[in-house]
Amino acid sequence: SSIPKIVILGAGYGGVLTSLRLQKELNYNEADVTLVNKHDYHYITTHLHMPAAGTDNPENARVNISKLIDEFKIDFVKSTVVQIRPQDRKVILEDGTLSYDYLIIGLGGEPETFGIPGLGEHAMNIRSINSVRLIREHIEYQFARFKREPHRTDYLTFVVGGAGFTGIEFIGELADRIPELCKQFDVDPSLVKIINIEAAPTALPGFDPELVEYAMQVLQKKGVTFRIGTAIKECTPDGVVVGDGEEIKSQTVIWTGGVRGNRLIEEAGFETMRGRVKVDEFLRAPGHENVYILGDNSLVFNPEGRPYPPTAQMAMQQGVNCAHNLVASIRNQPLKSYSFSNKGTVASLGKGEAIGVAFGKKYKGRMAAWLKKAIDIRYLFIIGGIPLVLRKGKFL
Ligand code: FAD
Ligand code: NAD
């Protein structure tokens, strides 16, 4: 019989970990593995809040895929997936077609706008290298514009919609960046506003209340204004409308209000909830024994029946499990079921400040910031070994 074809869509946390494991575990000529990604680089999503605010260079948040995978063992195709056809076992790319015996979907999520008018058109998102370069340049441009039109204080109002971890990490960096921009553009810092708007009754809903309180204090001291229990209802070219009709004028709205699965998955006919597939215990799409779904596109439930939040940590663990199951399938061995092992959560609040829960303990301040760095360096080590840690580690 012919060699089974494995196609992996997306070189994010899930896709890269699957690829790295497969290239290690598969024997020569046991399978044909192809990895498809829009760009020829992998981006370190967990670092994107920094280049978005301009506290770091976008270069430090990406790694060339050729530095990660062994191209003698895995074919890398730089292309954009436009359609998935599970009935025909084919994937349509912008410039070709691939057929597969096993498909791994790790295309990452998309911003969830909940149908709020104007968010898709007028707000920016922290998602990719391209999106953070845009945010960074946009913010600088507002300072330049203000110098020409000093009555337009809305140029200096920065609205962040959603106080989840993405929003909180971003405002931590932005608050660090503002004083530098004020110096560079000769702007009075008291004119600048960072407003974080959160619909839930608390920032970081569901996280440890004591740490949430600490985070808010740190960020308020840096000049952030919180509007908690206030929902964004609309986004316009002039700002946002919140609560019962109040308008906040701003030329910069960053939407960090949530993620959903990739639209290609529902378009392919898989059953989804907010674009995510409730996978079986082996991470396969129900009814499709040869399709694995990873990361932000998968929905995994905890023993209490509530979905786990989609994280890089989860996507990485799934990648390892998925590779194991692919090898087992090919060798006619039993599959291993997946269960999430939570190592903790650490979020940065800007330079030298963070909060987190890890190893069953709470951390805040310098210790937490150090832990965050250690987690980021560990990731570089996992995907690229010591050479990658040496090249990129110093920037984290
Ligand atoms: P992704 O990592 O999003 O990768 C998807 C890949 O698919 C990308 O390479 C993309 O270019 C490619 N792709 C997309 N569409 C196409 C297409 N049509 N054709 C071809 N290729 C395509 N999680 C944590 O656990 N810890 C953290 O500290 C943390 N920090 C975060 C900070 C920020 C600012 C953000 C935004 C998220 C953070 N997360 C964190 C969440 C985490 O980044 C995601 O859960 C994780 O990236 C999901 O991995 P994935 O493999 O599903 O997809
Ligand atoms: P999220 O869904 O976790 O948070 C979105 C927030 O926006 C919520 O608090 C929600 O109440 C709020 N919101 C929704 N609609 C709103 C509205 N109309 N007006 C105002 N607020 C509104 O999304 P996220 O922060 O992007 O995180 C996505 C995933 O990535 C999560 O699983 C998160 O845990 C993970 N992540 C982890 C880290 C970390 O571990 N350091 C960092 C970033 C993201």
Tell me the Cα Rg of the chain. 22
By the 10 Å C-beta count (0-12 exposed, 13-18 middle, 19+ buried), 87 is classed as exposed
Tell me the CA–centroid distance for residue 319 and ligand 1, in Å: 13
Tell me the CA–centroid distance for residue 48 and ligand 1, in Å: 10
Beta carbon of 113 within 6 Å of any ligand 2 atom: no
Q: Provide the whole-model pTM.
A: 0.97
d(CA 136, CA 49): 10
Beta carbon of 261 within 6 Å of any ligand 2 atom: no
CATH of domain 5-38+79-109+261-333: 3.50.50.60
Q: In terms of DSSP H, where are the helices of the chain?
A: 13-25, 49-53, 119-122, 129-148, 165-185, 209-221, 263-267, 312-330, 366-392
Catalytic: 246? Answer: no
Beta carbon of 162 within 6 Å of any ligand 2 atom: yes
Question: What's the token pair of residue 168?
Answer: 């909180």
Question: Do the domains 114-258+345-396 and 5-38+79-109+261-333 match in fold?
Answer: yes
Mutate to test the pocket of ligand 1, among 7, 9, 13 (most ligand atoms within 8 A of CB): 13
Supply the residue whose CA is at minimum distance from atom 30 of ligand 1: 46
Interface pTM (ipTM) of the complex?
0.98
Question: What CATH class does 114-258+345-396 carry?
Answer: alpha beta
Residue 65 · residue 11 · CB < 8 Å: yes
Domain ranges of the chain: 5-38+79-109+261-333, 114-258+345-396
Q: What is the pLDDT along the chain (396 residues), one digit of tens a residue?
A: 689 999 999 999 999 999 999 999 999 999 999 999 999 999 999 999 999 999 999 999 999 999 999 999 999 999 999 999 999 999 999 999 999 999 999 999 999 999 999 999 999 999 999 999 999 999 999 999 999 999 999 999 999 999 999 999 999 999 999 999 999 999 999 999 999 999 999 999 999 999 999 999 999 999 999 999 999 999 999 999 999 899 999 999 999 999 999 999 999 999 999 999 999 999 999 999 999 999 999 999 999 999 999 999 999 999 999 999 999 999 999 999 999 999 999 999 999 999 999 989 999 999 999 999 999 999 999 999 999 999 887 666
